[in-house]
Amino acid sequence: MATGIKDKVVILGMGCAKFGERWDREADDLMVEAFEEAIADAGIDKNEINAAWLSTAIEEVHAGKSGIPLAMALRLPYIPVTRVENYCASGTEAFRGAAYAVASGAADIALALGVEKLKDTGYGGLPQRSRGVLNSMYWANLSAPGAFAQLAAAYRAKHGVDKADLKRAMAHVSVKSHDNGSKNPKAHLRNKINEEAVLNAPMIAEPLGLYDCCGVSDGAACAILTSPEIARSLGKKDLIAVKALQLAVSNGVESQHNSWDGSYFATARIASTRAYQEAGIDNPRQEINLIEAHDCFSITELVTMEDLHISPEGGAIKDVLDGFYDSDGKIPCQIDGGLKCFGHPIGASGLRMIYEVYLQMLGRAGERQRATPPVRGLTHNLGGFPHQNVCSVAIVGRYGA
């Protein structure tokens, strides 16, 4: 019988490159930048790593289809390297592969690294007139902003939300992320904004304006995992453990059956419920202390707070406007700036989220550090569109807690 992964794997070290428009760096350079921080944090030699996982989403441009680029960039010692891709959940997939290898006993120490040189692809999330790497005009009426704008419309209709109230809550989400990002030296966007700027910004897909949408970034993030016993033998005392790793994948019901009303993410509700069960969490609103959610758009973050069973259904707007998810609120969400401001290099985002939770738990987050370090943190990735997606939920926390 499956017993889950709770406390079987701990994080030995983590690293993250600066996110942004890294025109002066190749994917290899970003891998090295993240890895050097992680290996120094872990306090080991790279020859002690037994297996590695590499995550990239758009391999045609910058990395290739195999694990070879990671092995070459880091000069890994001829160990197994597996490349994974699962849309925007790719980084968490790499983390999951490395964690399962350690938990199974197949590896003592495993590496997960995600990287994306997204700026080099020219991808902006909108259809292109000529066929390119992504989003050719064969499906011209489908774009990421358009699909998530439909999510906003469905949410409003289901819960009878006034348009102005929804816009104000979405603006608060964006202002919060920019404020948090301004305190993060590795964030892509570090400019503070105000509600007026959000509400008066150019419209991208009604009701999503410019400041409701995350940007396009380059970056890399890295985790080195091991067992609690090995971590202690290496002198690590303050252990941060994996509590749960869950993945839910759309099976077609959302896009092919009218039982789904378009106002929520079915996969997020399922994955989070499973994750809480695996982690032994009964009341996430009380037992989760920090959230890194997949805020590709401001409406996504708002709806996700309900799908993660933190806000009651239809109650996220009140929680957002009350400051529940602010950096000094009950459960901060995107305390590092999130996808919106830290950035969203697709293959790296899931690992970047875990990196922030890890730093906060160890009291190493600098200017944005919570006064009381969190005990448990949740990360959430959503890849695809509301009607067809993959959703990963990871929970990490203090070992034994």
Contact (Cβ atoms closer than 8 angstroms) between residue 393 and residue 246? yes
Contact (Cβ atoms closer than 8 angstroms) between residue 348 and residue 91? yes
Pairing state between β 208-209 and 81-84: unpaired
Answer yes or no: do 388 and 348 share one domain: yes
Query: What is the Cβ-side half-sphere exposure of residue 349, based on CA atoms within 13 angstroms?
Result: 36
pLDDT of residue 129: 46
Contact (Cβ atoms closer than 8 angstroms) between residue 215 and residue 123? no
Q: Of 174, 199, 233, which residue is a domain's last?
A: 233
pLDDT of residue 144: 87
The per-residue DSSP string of 271-323 comes to: HHHHHHHHHT-S-HHHH--EEE---SBHHHHHHHHHHTTSSPTT-HHHHHHTT
159 counts as catalytic: no
Query: What is the Cβ-side half-sphere exposure of residue 325, based on CA atoms within 13 angstroms?
Result: 33
Quote the CA–CA distance of 342 and 216 in Å, as a whole number: 10
For the cut 70, the answer to whether the pLDDT of residue 324 exceeds it is yes
Q: Which of 112, 398, 396, 358 is nearest to 239 (CA)?
A: 398
Residues in the chain: 401
Answer yes or no: do 267 and 369 share one domain: yes
Confidence class of residue 130 from pLDDT cuts 50, 70 and 90? very low
Mean pLDDT, range 296-322, rounded to an integer: 97
Neighbours of 124 (CB within 10 A): 17
User: Between 349-361 and 90-104, two packed helices, what is the crossing angle to 10 degrees?
Assistant: 60
Residue that wins the pLDDT comparison between 166 and 215: 166
135-154 pLDDT, tens digit per residue, is 454 455 578 899 999 999 99
H helices of 139-265, where?
144-159, 163-181, 195-199, 228-233, 253-256
pLDDT of residue 124: 60
Answer yes or no: do 223 and 259 share one domain: no
Mean pLDDT, range 346-367, rounded to an integer: 97
Domain span holding position 304: 142-209+241-398
Give how many domains the chain has, as a whole number: 2
Answer yes or no: do 252 and 354 share one domain: yes
Answer yes or no: do 82 and 195 share one domain: no
Contact (Cβ atoms closer than 8 angstroms) between residue 224 and residue 37? no
Confidence class of residue 92 from pLDDT cuts 50, 70 and 90? very high
Quote the CA–CA distance of 87 and 231 in Å, as a whole number: 32
Collect all residues with Cβ–Cβ distance below 8 Å to 201 and sequence separation of at least 6.
209, 210, 211, 212
Answer yes or no: do 158 and 263 share one domain: yes
Identify the active-site residue in 88, 213, 222, 296: 88
128 lies in a domain?
A: no
Which two tokens mark 81? 């390297």
86 lies in a domain?
A: yes
Pairing state between β 218-226 and 10-16: antiparallel
* Type of residue found at 38: A
Quote the CA–CA distance of 389 and 382 in Å, as a whole number: 7
18 lies in a domain?
A: yes
137 lies in a domain?
A: no
Strand partners, 244: 395
| Residue indicated by tokens 């009291």 | 363
CATH number at residue 146: 3.40.47.10
150 lies in a domain?
A: yes
Confidence class of residue 126 from pLDDT cuts 50, 70 and 90? low
208-228 pLDDT, tens digit per residue, is 999 999 988 999 999 999 999
Mean pLDDT, range 357-371, rounded to an integer: 97
259 lies in a domain?
A: yes
Confidence class of residue 119 from pLDDT cuts 50, 70 and 90? confident
296 counts as catalytic: no
Mean pLDDT, range 258-284, rounded to an integer: 96
pLDDT of residue 371: 95
In this structure, which long-range contacts are made by residues 265-269, counting pairs with CB atoms below 8 Å and at least 24 apart in sequence?
265/303, 265/304, 265/307, 265/382, 265/386, 265/389, 265/391, 267/382, 267/389, 267/390, 267/391, 268/304, 268/307, 268/308, 268/380, 268/382, 268/391, 268/393, 269/307, 269/309
Confidence class of residue 58 from pLDDT cuts 50, 70 and 90? confident
pLDDT of residue 136: 52
Contact (Cβ atoms closer than 8 angstroms) between residue 218 and residue 349? no
Identify the active-site residue in 188, 309, 344, 387: 344
Contact (Cβ atoms closer than 8 angstroms) between residue 51 and residue 80? yes
107 lies in a domain?
A: yes
Confidence class of residue 105 from pLDDT cuts 50, 70 and 90? very high
pLDDT of residue 214: 93
Q: Please work out, in degrees rounded to the nearest 5, the angle formed at the alpha carbon of residue 115 by the alpha carbons of 112 and 119.
A: 170
Answer yes or no: do 101 and 33 share one domain: yes
Answer yes or no: do 247 and 223 share one domain: no
**Omega of the bond leading into 127 within 30 degrees of 0 (cis):** no
Quote the CA–CA distance of 162 and 159 in Å, as a whole number: 9
Answer yes or no: do 60 and 91 share one domain: yes
Mean pLDDT, range 373-390, rounded to an integer: 94
Quote the CA–CA distance of 13 and 354 in Å, as a whole number: 11
Mean pLDDT, range 106-126, rounded to an integer: 84
233-247 pLDDT, tens digit per residue, is 999 999 999 999 999
Taking all residues of the chain, what is their mean pLDDT, rounded to a whole number? Answer: 93
Answer yes or no: do 200 and 284 share one domain: yes
2 lies in a domain?
A: no
For the cut 60, the answer to whether the pLDDT of residue 125 exceeds it is no
Answer yes or no: do 228 and 195 share one domain: no
Whole-number percent of the chain with pLDDT over 90: 85
pLDDT of residue 278: 98
Mean pLDDT, range 65-75, rounded to an integer: 94
Answer yes or no: do 73 and 191 share one domain: no
Across 99-108, 133-142, 189-198, 308-317, least confident range = 133-142
For the cut 70, the answer to whether the pLDDT of residue 81 exceeds it is yes
pLDDT of residue 11: 98
